[in-house]
Amino acid sequence: MTSALFTAPRGVLRRTVRSVEERTPARRDRALDGLRALALLAVPLGHWLLGGFTLDADGSLHNASPLAAFGGLAPVSWVLQMLGIFFLVGGHATVLSLHRARERGLSDRAWLGRRMARLGRPVVAVTAVWAVLLLALRAAGFPPDTLRSAVTLVVQPLWFVGVYVVLTALTPLCLRVVRRCGLWSAAVLFAAVAVVDLLRYGPWSAALPGWLGLLTVLPGWLFPYQLGVAWAEGKLDRRRAVVLLVGGCAVFAALLTVFGYPASMVGVPGQERTNSHPPSLLVPALAAAQCGAAVLVRARLARALARPGLWTVTAVVNLCAMTVLCWHQSAMLAVALPASRAGAVPGLISPPDTVGWIAARLLWLPVFAVVLFLITVVTRRFERPWTGMARASRTVMGVLSAGFAAYALYG
């Protein structure tokens, strides 16, 4: 009996692995999927490790970070901030998608419309669901500050989707520029961020407007995306990848040790400067090193992913990419919000300023992962086209999503 209980799941797993392997086209670049999965999984892991909650006297939850107390943890953010690789792979994959669409006779506008819908559906879904949850939580007596903390976490990963939408729309232009200028097109973007940083952090910064840093948002994230476009067009070989890796590491080290940039790649409460919003030069420097390393390990990673079991896990993660991105903070909130009614909980709802908190948080990670898995099983359907959903239902979701956006901006 016991043997049968274990044999059945193994049989299902073997059939799943075999099915995924058989359905994978021979031309599929598994290394790209492996890099995307690695960068994607680093997002929830980073948010879960480097984000925490405190509870004030009236029972309100507030967001906190262990980085405020443990500056030595900053190198963890260097490893987990892998958006450079995500944008690199995104640029590469989007160019291939554009080429396939053109081969089928699809116009660039039609291709872009499909890409926008694919990116937008999960965002509308998560924000619509949270619009309802906010009403339910308020009715259940959760304080307004708790709701604002929850909204902050839900919105936190969604900025990425907005940036990615803009970069996707620019892909035809990026492609033309790469074909004319090669990797110099990415170098110009890197230089643009450097110039803005020089202005906003230089001796004359006090005389310049505070919004100046926003000028780095587009070139800062377009830099690794443009490298991905160049990679897809054969302009980024191993020799140039070594230059990116070595040069990126050198600039990164100089910015930290000579120019006094903050060590953390993510925002730290109480810290005046941040490297992430908007991106400082440290972001493209790290992205350059990551992208160079990614190109260099591509062949080795492809060989590793030839193993059916490992490839199946990678394929499943990629199929759920937008769902994981949009809902991983909800998984942590699904645990923290009910627990806040019980008061302080080590590693979950307690000041993240002790080694004990770090140890306890590590124990919570599997719990968050299981909850995210369960949420993904339910919400994965929103990544697929909504052709089976009534127009009235789609309208309601759109209205709820807009309501959530209004609350996030003005609530």
Note whether residue 56 is domain-resident: no
Write down the pLDDT at residue 7.
45
Note whether residue 67 is domain-resident: yes
Note whether residue 9 is domain-resident: no
Task: Say which residue the tokens 């669901």 belong to.
Answer: 129
Confidence of residue 210 (pLDDT cuts 50, 70, 90): confident
Q: How far apart are CA 165 and CA 121, in angstroms?
A: 12
Residues found in the chain: 411
For 113, other C-beta atoms within 10 Å of its C-beta total: 12
Whether residue 411 contacts residue 131, with contact meaning beta carbons closer than 8 Å, is answered with no
Write down the pLDDT at residue 2.
36
DSSP SS3 for 55? strand
Task: Report the Cα–Cα distance between both ends of the chain, in Å, rounded.
Answer: 57
Instruction: Please state which of the ranges 20-24, 160-164, 194-198 shows the lowest mean pLDDT.
Output: 20-24
Write down the pLDDT at residue 258.
95
> What's the whole-model pTM score?
0.93
* Burial class of residue 203 (count of CB atoms within 10 Å of its CB; 0-12, 13-18, 19+): exposed
Write down the pLDDT at residue 203.
85
Q: How far apart are CA 401 and CA 124, in angstroms?
A: 6
Write down the pLDDT at residue 104.
95
Write down the pLDDT at residue 4.
42
Q: How far apart are CA 281 and CA 252, in angstroms?
A: 8
From 19, 195, 11, 186, select the one nearest 88 (Cα to Cα). 186
Note whether residue 309 is domain-resident: yes
Q: How far apart are CA 118 and CA 98, in angstroms?
A: 14
Whether residue 82 contacts residue 42, with contact meaning beta carbons closer than 8 Å, is answered with yes
Q: Which residues contact 143 (CB under 8 A, 6 or more apart)?
A: 58, 59, 60
Note whether residue 357 is domain-resident: yes
State mean pLDDT over 69-98: 93
Structure-block tokens of residue 225: 């995306």
Q: Above 80 in pLDDT, residue 5? A: no
Write down the pLDDT at residue 17.
81
3 state SS for 134-148: HHHHHHCCCCHHHHH
Note whether residue 303 is domain-resident: yes
DSSP class of residue 345 equals: B
Q: How far apart are CA 122 and CA 152, in angstroms?
A: 18
H or E stretch covering 64: strand 61-64
CA 145 to chain centre: 25
Q: Above 90 in pLDDT, residue 244? A: yes
Q: Above 80 in pLDDT, residue 271? A: no
Q: How far apart are CA 128 and CA 397, in angstroms?
A: 5
DSSP class of residue 61 equals: E
Query: What does pLDDT average to over the chain?
Result: 92
Write down the pLDDT at residue 391.
87
Q: Which residues contact 168 (CB under 8 A, 6 or more apart)?
A: 90, 94, 112, 115, 116, 119
Give the structural domain span for 261.
29-39+62-410
Note whether residue 183 is domain-resident: yes
From 281, 163, 180, select the one nearest 230 (Cα to Cα). 180
Write down the pLDDT at residue 266.
85
Confidence of residue 111 (pLDDT cuts 50, 70, 90): very high
pLDDT (tens digit per residue) in 358-401: 999 999 999 999 999 999 999 999 988 888 788 899 999 999 99
Structure-block tokens of residue 345: 């909980």
Structural domains of the chain, count: 1
| Secondary structure percentages of the chain, helix, strand, coil, to 5 | 75, 0, 20
pLDDT (tens digit per residue) in 302-350: 999 999 999 999 999 999 999 999 999 999 999 999 999 888 899 999 9
Confidence of residue 106 (pLDDT cuts 50, 70, 90): very high
Write down the pLDDT at residue 348.
95
Whether residue 323 contacts residue 380, with contact meaning beta carbons closer than 8 Å, is answered with yes
Note whether residue 124 is domain-resident: yes
For 373, other C-beta atoms within 10 Å of its C-beta total: 12
Write down the pLDDT at residue 73.
87
